[in-house]
Amino acid sequence: MSANGRPSTDQSLGQLVSSVTSNVASLVRLEIELAKSELTTQVRSGATGGGLAAAAALLALLAIVLFSIAAALALALVVPGWAAFLIVGAVYVLVAALLVFLSMRRFKQIKGPQRATVALDQTKTVLTDRAAARAAAKASGVSAADAGLLEADERARVAARDAGRQAAAGGGAGPA
């Protein structure tokens, strides 16, 4: 590579292919790491939702037991002691309802590895476009070095376009 980051003209086609292969392997490895990271976050959210659902089920079971005891005491003895059981049972039902609501919100947040999917789609597009550009360059008689320079220029244009779109969408204020 020359000082400006573009391939030097004295690199062989084999060296260029080796460089591209290495870069593609790195890109795929990084996309797999991104997917793993996203899935880990999603699994943690799902586990929290599952724990809340289990707690709600336990409290609902306790409420059924307490309501059953309260009903039995009310019918058998007709004394004020049963009112305490009904109040405690009602509190358990309210807490269980709250936990069910919270667990449903957590489960709805699970959407899969969205950023990794977008990154993979972008990579496919770039590699397809690169192959088409190289084929067109080869068909028109452009050398591998010149094709590399054209490709670097195209990458810079695409990066500038994407940065402009991100800024227009309010995606960020740029590097800190």
pLDDT (tens digit per residue) in 95-133: 899 999 999 999 888 887 888 888 888 888 888 877 777
CB burial readout 15-50, b (16+ within 10 A) else e: ebeeeeeeeeeeeeeebeebbeebeeebeebeeebe
- Gap between the Cα atoms of 132 and 11, Å rounded: 21
Task: Please say if the pLDDT value at position 175 is more than 50.
Answer: no
- Gap between the Cα atoms of 107 and 83, Å rounded: 36
The pTM of the full predicted model, rounded to 2 decimals, is: 0.36
pLDDT at 102: 93
pLDDT at 97: 93
pLDDT at 98: 95
- Gap between the Cα atoms of 83 and 1, Å rounded: 83
User: What digits encode the pLDDT tens for the residues 2-59?
Assistant: 555 555 556 777 787 778 888 888 888 888 888 888 888 888 888 888 899 999 999 9
